[in-house]
Amino acid sequence: MGVFFLSSDFIPNITTELRKDIVKVPEVINQASGIIIFGKKIRSIIFTTDIAIIRNTNANAVIAVYPFTPHPAITKSIIEAADIPVFSGVGGGLTQGSRAAYMSLFAEAQGSIGVVLNAPTPVETICEVCQVVDIPVVSTVTSKYTPIDEKINCGVKIINISAGKETAEVVRHFRQNYPELPIIATGGPTDETILAVIEAGANAITFTPPSNGKLFSKKMEVYREKERLEFEK
């Protein structure tokens, strides 16, 4: 009986008719090195709090930050709905000090793989959060002028760079100064902008999906076209 060697390039792809219309992250993100957290390699991180999208994506993880005071009910709902790891926003702007630390404890207890603190978070709050959780603390960076030495000394494990059109430049700045620091960064709207951020030194990329309204609009167009074709038969 002959021996059959399966090519390492062959990857079985299993889906169903009901689950084929998922939100797919750009393929170019697979060129990032990834960050291994508790044995899970994470390259693509979808930026959303929409539970329907979170349940229907091929991203490796979710970053669930939002422009309101963090609340355990929101964190709990997202983690329960997700079938992929969740980085939970725990404040840092308006929500500081003990409340941010409590939110971080709630997030860890509910199953978050990491907690995310906003860019304005005082060092004192960062230190307090780092002292109470046993999951990675992620600090958001908005420009190359953001001071991070004290934050790293407190225990920050990952930085999350979100600097608009300057993101690639900011990633390059921090990669040159911190060669081994894990970096998450926004990839931008095109394959070219994503690749630029990866080449600058980002280990993982956040991707902002189309809104629920846009996704539904496309589906309704398909439905209308199908009805038109049926009518013309």
**pLDDT 10s digits, 28-80:** 999 999 999 999 999 999 999 999 999 999 999 999 999 899 999 999 999 99
pTM for this predicted structure: 0.89
Q: What is the pLDDT along the chain (233 residues), one digit of tens a residue?
A: 556 655 667 778 888 887 778 999 999 999 999 999 999 999 999 999 999 999 999 999 999 999 899 999 999 999 999 999 999 999 887 778 889 999 999 999 999 999 999 988 999 999 999 999 999 999 999 999 999 999 999 999 999 999 999 999 999 999 999 999 999 999 998 999 999 999 999 999 999 998 877 776 776 777 676 766 676 77
Cα–Cα distance for residue pair 108/132, rounded to 1 Å = 10
Question: What pLDDT shows up at residue 168?
Answer: 97
Topology given in CATH for the domain delimited by 20-232 = TIM Barrel (3.20.20)
Question: For every residue of 72-93, which 3-state class applies, written as one string?
Answer: HHHHHHHHHHCCCCEEEECCCC
Burial of 56 (0-12, 13-18, 19+ CB in 10 A): middle
